[in-house]
């Protein structure tokens, strides 16, 4: 053979080896020709671990979503309670003691919501950290697979060069590398070392596929939960702010009432020392009250036969206004109250104090019987609204702002909770408050019996 022919043969051999490397690279590295072995066919520990990790991750994500659902429901309930409390405080629809209890309960509930949120945030951070670990594990597994495939390619090229051409031809003519490695005739032609390496490649491919799927699950769940946890954090901050506002509102209300009640106590002390004024107050709280009560009974009797006022009232009553109870029904030490029975001073209703002009609500559905000044009062006269809930039960609202509230007039029908006027200090009163009384079958009874 001439030197020229020798060089041509040698060049042809080099070209052929490069071509083989290129073809093997395409077969081994191209994604569309990647191993397609079902997950359940791999029995290696790595594959089993990858499947187990995916199951653990799925459980973690499921648990986090369940916790998120519980937190969402808990925050919705908390928000509703905070809103109701603020509305009650805005209109002073609840007593100061009840408002204090509500806010204390809301603060306890907020602690529970915050704890659940902290737990969810910690779990989401754990998921994010696990995602980083899985991504690193995926990259490491891919690098290991690349190394094994390169080793197998090198060995196949070496097999070709040692006259094992049919082995390579089966590889090159196979539909995919999986088909080639699964072919019994080809597999038997491999050395024991190549067989072990081929098995490792198949196992690595299966494990890597599971890891990639796990990474996709973790990545998707992490994005979803991260956004939702951020939303819950903002809602929690809003609720904490609203609860702080409600607490400050209650504190301001308490301070306002304390100052108002201090002034009222001073006015009552002054009244006790003024004999003429005290006698006028006793007269107003006694005789004028009885005379107006008799007149109201006559008006109810007139309305009743027409069917506008029911003969029976089967429901219960609600508080017409919140605030502080300054005087209960029954025997009292307030000197301006008249004698009733064995009590030297008897209060025939409940006095509720709140900031002046607080709305007053109908304690139940009924028909307005009277709106205006008590015509039997000695000056100054008290402004009243009186509602008949049945022919036997009426409720009185006294010392109100001396102005008829829109829609409130004699003969008007009202529903429970409807505003009938605002609190004030008309008549023989030492400060803004509502005198609320319940009269049944011609007798004033304790309103608490009907709540």
Identify the pLDDT of residue 179: 57
Query: Given phi > 0 = left and psi -120 to 50 = alpha, else beta, which region is 193?
Result: alpha
Q: pLDDT band at 102, cuts 50/70/90?
A: very high
| Mean pLDDT, rounded, for 211-236 | 87
> Which range has the worst mean pLDDT, 1-10, 161-170, 186-195, 279-288?
1-10
Q: pLDDT tens digits, residue range 19-58?
A: 444 444 444 444 333 333 333 333 457 778 878 888 888 8
Q: 93-112: b or e for each residue (b if 16 or more CB lie within 10 Å)?
A: bbbbeebeebbeebeebbee
**CA 323 → CA 99, 312, 344, 402, distances in Å?**
9, 30, 27, 21
Question: Does domain 277-450 fall into CATH 3.40.50.720?
Answer: no
Q: pLDDT tens digits, residue range 194-214?
A: 767 777 777 778 888 888 888
Domain parsing of the chain, residue ranges: 3-256, 277-450
Identify the pLDDT of residue 81: 92
Burial of 389 (0-12, 13-18, 19+ CB in 10 A): buried
| Contact present, 127 and 56 (Cβ < 8 Å) | no
Q: pLDDT tens digits, residue range 403-432?
A: 999 999 999 999 999 999 999 999 888 899
Dist CA 175 CA 186 (whole Å): 14
Q: pLDDT tens digits, residue range 234-275?
A: 999 999 999 999 999 999 999 988 888 888 888 777 767 766
| Contact present, 360 and 418 (Cβ < 8 Å) | no
Dist CA 359 CA 421 (whole Å): 6
> Which range has the worst mean pLDDT, 19-23, 98-102, 371-375, 403-407?
19-23
Q: Which residues contact 421 (CB under 8 A, 6 or more apart)?
A: 359, 360, 383, 385, 397, 400, 401, 403, 404, 405, 408
Identify the pLDDT of residue 142: 86
Identify the pLDDT of residue 153: 76
Identify the pLDDT of residue 277: 67
Identify the pLDDT of residue 224: 85
Average pLDDT, the chain: 81
Q: pLDDT band at 379, cuts 50/70/90?
A: confident
| Contact present, 349 and 360 (Cβ < 8 Å) | no
Identify the pLDDT of residue 438: 97
Where do we find the tokens 């409600």? 246
Q: pLDDT tens digits, residue range 140-195?
A: 888 888 887 888 777 766 666 554 545 555 555 555 555 555 554 555 555 676 76
Dist CA 79 CA 243 (whole Å): 9
Dist CA 275 CA 273 (whole Å): 6
Identify the pLDDT of residue 22: 46
Identify the pLDDT of residue 215: 86
What the block records as the tokens of 332 is 């009292």
Q: pLDDT band at 305, cuts 50/70/90?
A: low
Calculate Rg over the CA atoms of the chain: 44
Burial of 446 (0-12, 13-18, 19+ CB in 10 A): middle
Nearest to 77 by CA among 275, 287, 222, 235: 235
Identify the pLDDT of residue 276: 67
Where do we find the tokens 């301070």? 255
Dist CA 169 CA 160 (whole Å): 9
| Mean pLDDT, rounded, for 300-323 | 86
Dist CA 296 CA 371 (whole Å): 11
Dist CA 289 CA 434 (whole Å): 15
Dist CA 99 CA 250 (whole Å): 7
> Which range has the worst mean pLDDT, 20-34, 93-107, 366-380, 426-440?
20-34
CA geometry: angle 47, 51, 55, nearest 5 deg? 165
Dist CA 225 CA 121 (whole Å): 9
pLDDT above 70: percentage of residues in the chain: 78
Identify the pLDDT of residue 351: 94
| Mean pLDDT, rounded, for 95-113 | 92
């Amino acid at each position: 053979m001439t030197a020229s022919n020798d060089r041509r043969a040698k060049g042809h051999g080099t070209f052929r080896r490069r071509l083989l490397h290129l073809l093997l690279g395409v077969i081994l590295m191209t994604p569309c020709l990647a191993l397609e072995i079902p997950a359940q066919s791999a029995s290696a520990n790595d594959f089993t671990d990858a499947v187990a990790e995916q199951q653990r991750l799925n459980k973690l994500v499921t648990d986090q979503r369940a916790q998120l659902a519980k937190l969402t429901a808990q925050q919705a309930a908390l928000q509703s309670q905070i809103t109701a409390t603020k509305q009650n405080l805005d209109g002073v629809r609840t007593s100061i003691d009840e408002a204090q209890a509500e806010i204390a309960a809301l603060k306890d509930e907020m602690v529970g919501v915050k704890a659940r949120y902290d737990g969810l945030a910690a779990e989401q951070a754990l998921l994010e950290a696990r995602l980083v670990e899985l991504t690193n594990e995926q990259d490491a597994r891919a690098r290991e697979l690349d190394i094994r495939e390169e080793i197998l390619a090198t060995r196949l090229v070496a097999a070709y060069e040692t006259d094992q051409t049919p082995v390579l031809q089966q590889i090159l003519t196979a539909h995919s590398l999986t088909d080639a490695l699964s072919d019994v005739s080809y597999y038997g032609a491999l050395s024991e070392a190549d067989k072990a390496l081929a098995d490792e490649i198949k196992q690595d491919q299966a494990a890597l596929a599971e890891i990639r799927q796990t990474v996709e699950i973790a990545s998707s769940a992490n994005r979803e939960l991260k956004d939702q946890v951020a939303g819950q954090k903002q809602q929690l901050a809003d609720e904490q702010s609203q609860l702080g506002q409600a607490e400050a509102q209650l504190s301001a209300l308490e301070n306002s009432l304390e100052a108002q009640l201090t002034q009222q106590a001073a006015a009552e002390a002054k009244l006790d020392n003024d004999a003429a004024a005290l006698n006028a107050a006793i007269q107003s709280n006694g005789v004028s009250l009885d005379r107006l009560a008799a007149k109201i009974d006559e008006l109810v009797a007139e309305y009743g036969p027409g069917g506008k006022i029911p003969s029976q009232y089967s429901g219960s009553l609600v508080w017409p206004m919140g605030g502080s109870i300054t005087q209960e029904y029954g025997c009292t030490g307030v000197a301006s109250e008249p004698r009733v029975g064995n009590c030297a001073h008897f209060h025939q209703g409940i006095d509720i104090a709140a900031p002046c002009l607080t709305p007053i609500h109908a304690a139940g559905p009924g028909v307005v019987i009277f709106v205006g000044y008590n015509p039997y009062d000695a000056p100054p006269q008290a402004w009243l609204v009186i509602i008949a809930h049945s022919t036997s039960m009426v409720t009185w609202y006294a010392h109100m702002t001396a102005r008829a509230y829109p829609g409130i007039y004699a003969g008007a029908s009202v529903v429970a909770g409807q505003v009938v006027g605002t609190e004030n200090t008309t008549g023989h009163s030492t400060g803004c408050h509502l005198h609320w009384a319940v009269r049944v079958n011609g007798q004033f009874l304790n309103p608490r019996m009907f709540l």
